[in-house]
Amino acid sequence: MVGQLGSETGIHERTDSTYERAVLGLKNYWWPVLSSKEVREKPVPAKLGGEDVVFLRRSGRVYALSDHCAHRGVPLSQGRHEFKDSTTITCSNHGFTYDCATGVCVAALTDGPDSPVVGKARVRTYPVEERKGIVWIWMGRMPPVPVDQDIPDGILDDDNHVLVRIRGLSDNKDKVRPGNWRYHAENTGVGHFPVLHRYALSNLLNPLWAHTTGAGTIVREEPDGLYVVETAEGLAKQATYPGLGVWPPARPWRRFGIGRFDEKAEPTTVSMRLPGIVRVTRFPTDVSVYYEWWVPVDESHYQLTQIIHEKRGGIFTRLWRYLKYRAYVTPLIVHRLIDQDGAVVQAQTKKAIEDDGANPMSRDFRPDSFPLAFIDLCNKTARGEVQGGT
Ligand code: FES
Ligand SMILES: [Fe+2]
């Protein structure tokens, strides 16, 4: 087991570490940030990892640039495509025109074709790739690794149906979630599920367990990367808490749901990997695998990129899947249940900001071996340099 519980006092004290500095995320990884269909010729502004970025499409290809013109900082997302046959964007103010691939200023319209700033002024560009209808961006300063290296197994598999939900950014700004991405990572795992999600609408008919026995965490090298994997010896249905009584109370109706507590079934496993991804097997349905990226927007906001894959199947499987997701899985689990986590993350971030921006100290308990192992993984193996947040 890694991710030791804190000091002898049981308090997990935070120190200066890669994880502590990563307020704005681990940038030397590919982040899935937009769906491809959102990016057309018209620029799309976004804040990611504390930086203002503009996405646009030219000749079928997606480009990402800093959203601040090198002249007076006017957002390039307000710019226009003046030269239709070129891969450029022209600032709406004085007409600095940038090559989207290099970020170099190739014309300054109101200064004439011989303007001396041509070839000298430039804006930052970010590597972008498209895979499975998703735009992936590399925000880091080190040269990018091949994008497929950062995409977990199954997502690129042609035999799989891949469902993507990106909750936030350009399509729906108010869905940028309040909270720092790390609190979502720390709230992941079996330590919260049977309490926080007990009264989620999708669980009201489900016989959730009381607690795990022998909770632990292992670090596992898998073909697609290094994961921390949550383990448990068993799940107790009910328990007697001294002086308090039995919990959870028996509820006869809690057996009619599409249960997540089928003792005979292969258990759901929850794992995390860098830069901030959770993988849940047999979730949100018994035949799917769920991935969720916590993509940092700024210190106190993040977006969720949720990617789910299931085997493709024939026409009836596809029809059943469509109906199931429309009527139940997407509204009740992919949205509402995960929003319960979001509310916790928001509250924790608010408290941390009130407490001078510090991560709160936490009094760890045994199931915390899982998020602590993730923190450990981050501190020991994060790619590239991690800059502080503010
Ligand atoms: S501010 Fe962009 S060209 Fe002047
Ligand atoms: Fe949760």
Distance 79 CA to ligand 2 centre (A): 41
Pick from 308, 43, 45, 309: which is nearest to 176 by CA? 45
- How far apart (Å, rounded) are the C-alpha atoms in residues 110 and 92? 11
Q: Ligand 1: list residues with CB < 6 Å.
A: 69, 71-72, 74, 91, 93-96
Token pair 């109706």 is found at 253
- How far apart (Å, rounded) are the C-alpha atoms in residues 249 and 252? 10
58-97 pLDDT per residue, tens: 999 999 999 999 999 999 999 999 999 999 999 999 999 9
- How far apart (Å, rounded) are the C-alpha atoms in residues 360 and 351? 8
Q: What are the pLDDT tens digits along the chain (390 aa)?
A: 233 444 455 555 567 799 989 999 999 999 999 999 999 999 999 999 999 999 999 999 999 999 999 999 999 999 999 999 999 999 999 999 999 999 999 999 999 999 999 999 999 999 999 999 999 999 999 999 999 999 999 999 999 999 988 865 444 556 688 889 999 999 998 889 999 999 998 888 888 889 999 989 999 999 999 999 999 998 898 999 999 999 998 888 777 766 554 556 677 899 999 999 999 999 999 899 999 999 999 998 999 999 999 999 999 999 999 999 999 999 898 888 988 998 888 888 888 888 766 666 577 888 999 999 999 999 999 999 887 764
C-alpha to C-alpha distances, 98 to 46, 72, 141, nearest whole angstrom: 19, 14, 21
Size (the chain), residues: 390
Distance 104 CA to ligand 1 centre (A): 14
Distance 197 CA to ligand 2 centre (A): 7
**Burial profile 167-183: b = 16 or more Cβ within 10 angstroms, e = fewer:** bbbbeeeeebbebbbbb
Distance 56 CA to ligand 1 centre (A): 18
For ligand 1, pick from 66, 71, 77 the residue to mutate: most ligand atoms within 8 Å of CB: 71
Amino acid at 167: R
Can you tell me which atom of ligand 1 is nearest the CA of 108?
3
- How far apart (Å, rounded) are the C-alpha atoms in residues 139 and 125? 9
Kindly identify the ligand whose nearest atom is closest to the C-alpha of 186. Answer: 2
- How far apart (Å, rounded) are the C-alpha atoms in residues 237 and 42? 54
Domains, the chain, with CATH or none: 11-17+151-381 (3.90.380.10), 29-131 (2.102.10.10)
Strands (E), 109-159: 125-126, 128-131, 134-138
Distance 351 CA to ligand 2 centre (A): 20
Kindly identify the ligand whose nearest atom is closest to the C-alpha of 284. Answer: 2
Kindly identify the ligand whose nearest atom is closest to the C-alpha of 193. Answer: 2
With the C-alpha atoms ordered 304, 305, 308, 314, is the resulting torsion angle positive or negative? positive
Burial of 285 (0-12, 13-18, 19+ CB in 10 A): middle
Give the pLDDT of residue 141.
Answer: 96
Kindly identify the ligand whose nearest atom is closest to the C-alpha of 336. Answer: 2
Give the pLDDT of residue 5.
Answer: 43
Pick from 372, 359, 6, 379: which is nearest to 215 by CA? 372
Instruction: Using a cut of 0.85, tell me whether the model's pTM lies above it.
Output: yes
Give the pLDDT of residue 65.
Answer: 98
Nearest CA owner, ligand 1 atom 1: 72
